[in-house]
Amino acid sequence: MKKLLQIEWIKLWPYKAFRILFIVYFLLLGLSLLIGRSLNNGEGEELNKLFKILSVPNIWNYYLFVAVLLNIVLGIIVIFVISNEYSFKTMRQNLIDGLNRNQLFVSKLLLISILTFLSTLVVYISGLIAGKVYNPDATFSDLLERNVLIGGYAIACFGTLSMASLFAIILKRSGLATIVFILFIFPLDVILNQGLLKGCCNDYLPVSVLFKGIIEWPGNMIRSFGEEAQTALAWLPVTMGLVYIGLFNFLSWFIIRRRDL
C-alpha cells in the first residue's frame, strides 16, 4: 500500500496538468467564498441578511453545494491521470515490471481516495474559517452545526471520482472520457431521467444522487429566506451513493482484471 502511494506520488506531482487543475480547483473553491464575501457589503449585505446564505449554519448548505459541483474538476483530474496510463501504455509497463492487476486497481482507488480526503479536508477547514469570518459572533458549537453534511459531501465526492475513474478506464482516452463524463452529468442524465424514465427514478440515478441527492441544492433555503435548509443526510441518497461507489469500483476492478493491456 505504502509502495503504491509512493509510486503514485512520484508520477503525479511533476505532472503539470495535475498541478494546474488542482490549483484551478482550489481557486474556484476560494472564489465561491469570495463571491459570498461580496454579499457581505452594501446591497449584497442586505441580500445576505434577507436570504441568510452566509450565516452559520446556512453557509454549509451553500458551500457544500458549490463544492459538489466542483467535484467535476476533480473528476477531470482523475480522468486525465488514469487515461494517461493507458495512452502512455505505462499501466502495461507497470504490470510487466511486476505489479499485479489488483495493485493496478488499488493504485487508482488510492488516487481517488486521496483526492476525496484532501478536498473534504480543505472544504471543511475553509468552511469553518469562512463561517467564523462572516459571522464573528458565531460560537464554536454554532459552527459545528450541520457538520454531518460534510460526511455526505465526502460520499458524493468519492462517488463522482469513482464514476470518472470508471469512464477513464473504459474509454482510455482523456478527451473522449472527459466529454462523456461532462455530457453524462449534464444533458444525458436529464434526458435519461425525464425522457426515457419519465422522472420515475429521480432519486436513484447516479448523477441525481451524487450531485443533488446527498447534498441538496440550496434552492429551498433561498426561497424560504434561509428558514428551510437541509439539516441532515437522508438515508436513501446516501445508500444509493454507497451502492454506486461499490458498483463503479467493482466495474473498474473487473475491467482491469479482465482486459488485455
SS3 196: helix
**Sign of the alpha-carbon dihedral angle for 249, 101, 98, 84:** negative
HSE at residue 254, side-chain half, CA atoms within 13 A, is 8
Identify the residue whose cell numbers are 463524463.
181
Q: Does 1 bind another protein (CB under 8 A)?
A: no
Output 199-206 pairs: Cβ under 8 A, ≥24 positions apart. 203/236, 203/237, 203/240, 204/240, 206/159, 206/163, 206/244
Piece of 30-38, 99-107, 115-123, 187-195 that binds another protein (CB under 8 A): 99-107
For residue 192, give the DSSP letter.
Answer: I
Piece of 10-18, 31-39, 43-51, 223-231 that binds another protein (CB under 8 A): 10-18
CA distance 3 to 156: 28
Return the residue of 30, 38, 50, 88 that touches another protein, per CB under 8 A.
88
SS3 139: coil
How many residues of this chain interact with another protein, rule: CB under 8 A?
Answer: 25
35: cell is 463571491
Of residues 3 and 223, the one with the C-beta less far from another protein: 3
Shortest distance, position 129 Cβ to another protein, whole Å: 34
Shortest distance, position 19 Cβ to another protein, whole Å: 11
For residue 226, give the DSSP letter.
Answer: T
Q: Does 92 bind another protein (CB under 8 A)?
A: yes
**197 φ, ψ (degrees, to nearest 5):** -95, 0
Asked if residues 160 and 189 have their Cβ atoms less than 8 Å apart, the reply is no
Return the residue of 1, 16, 42, 196 that touches another protein, per CB under 8 A.
16
Computed on alpha carbons and rounded to an integer, the radius of gyration of the chain in Å comes to 20
Piece of 3-11, 65-73, 113-121, 188-196 that binds another protein (CB under 8 A): 3-11
Identify the residue whose cell numbers are 429551498.
220
Q: Does 260 bind another protein (CB under 8 A)?
A: yes
Piece of 35-43, 92-100, 158-166, 226-234 that binds another protein (CB under 8 A): 92-100
Return the residue of 33, 66, 77, 99 that touches another protein, per CB under 8 A.
99
Shortest distance, position 18 Cβ to another protein, whole Å: 10
Q: Does 247 bind another protein (CB under 8 A)?
A: no
Piece of 24-32, 89-97, 121-129, 133-141 that binds another protein (CB under 8 A): 89-97
Return the residue of 3, 175, 188, 191 that touches another protein, per CB under 8 A.
3
Asked if residues 214 and 129 have their Cβ atoms less than 8 Å apart, the reply is no
Residues within the interface to another protein (CB under 8 A): 3, 6-7, 10-11, 14-16, 84, 88-90, 92-101, 258, 260-261
